Amino acid sequence: MPLRMSSSSSAVQAPRSPVNPVIVEQETAEARIRSLLVLGGARSGKSAYAQGLAEAHGPDRLYLATAAAGDEEMAARIARHRVDRGQGWATLEEPIEIAAALAAHAQPSRVVVVDCLTLWLSNLVLGGRDPGPALAALADAIGGLAGPVIFVSNEVGMGIVPDHQLGREFRDWQGRANREIGAACDAVIFVAAGFPLQLKPAATRNVQLI
């Protein structure tokens, strides 16, 4: 069963000037999708959005966690996320082989939330593995999954440039991952300050200068 995203809007006039206003026409539409990428910064509400969409989909829900409890702080974060999700979720911890895990556990009636791609990339990089092949394999697998999936990922390229080489390399890999997974998914949502912004399919159908 596909996921459903609804958006309703009407013509909006953006204030440009009295002579040349811009009219943005948006159509009411319901997107029926099988795969979704949810992007956002830290504490933006991206995980909550993904969780809410999954809970609205149905009772069979799998949380595919990529975090590894390497220290007390991360262990506490994992425990807090479990509490936040509440009842009704099955949890699978897989820090590396998420493409294989999705192929094994995706089902037509089950929605899988992968949270998050950023920690997955971190596991690959810190483990000395080339993220390129793993990223390509994941992107290729999305279209053939037996059930719906929601990926959660961080947008890390909008802040300051990291002051060390590993940080810059990771930032670049994260940007590449978001592009490739976003291209493979049916839809992409960017969450800022708790508000979801639809990037794909484009929410704006027509832009007209008058």
Task: Give just the sign of the alpha carbon dihedral 188, 3, 184, 153.
Answer: positive
Lookup: tokens for 76? 């506490």
- The answer to whether the peptide bond before residue 116 is cis (omega within 30 degrees of 0) is yes
As annotated, the active-site residues are 81
Q: Do 191 and 45 meet the contact criterion of CB atoms below 8 Å apart? A: yes
Domains of the chain: 30-202 (3.40.50.300)
Q: Smallest Cα–Cα separation from 126: which of 174, 170, 90? A: 170
The reported pTM is: 0.82
CA distance 98 to 138: 8
Tens of pLDDT along 136-154? 999 999 999 999 999 999 9
More confident residue, 85 or 192: 192
CA distance 186 to 143: 9
Q: Which amino acid is at 140?
A: D
Tell me the pLDDT band of 80, cut-offs 50, 70 and 90.
Answer: confident
Lookup: tokens for 121? 């990339």
pLDDT at 23: 36
Question: In this model, does residue 15 exceed pLDDT 60?
Answer: no
- 3-class state of residue 127 by DSSP: coil
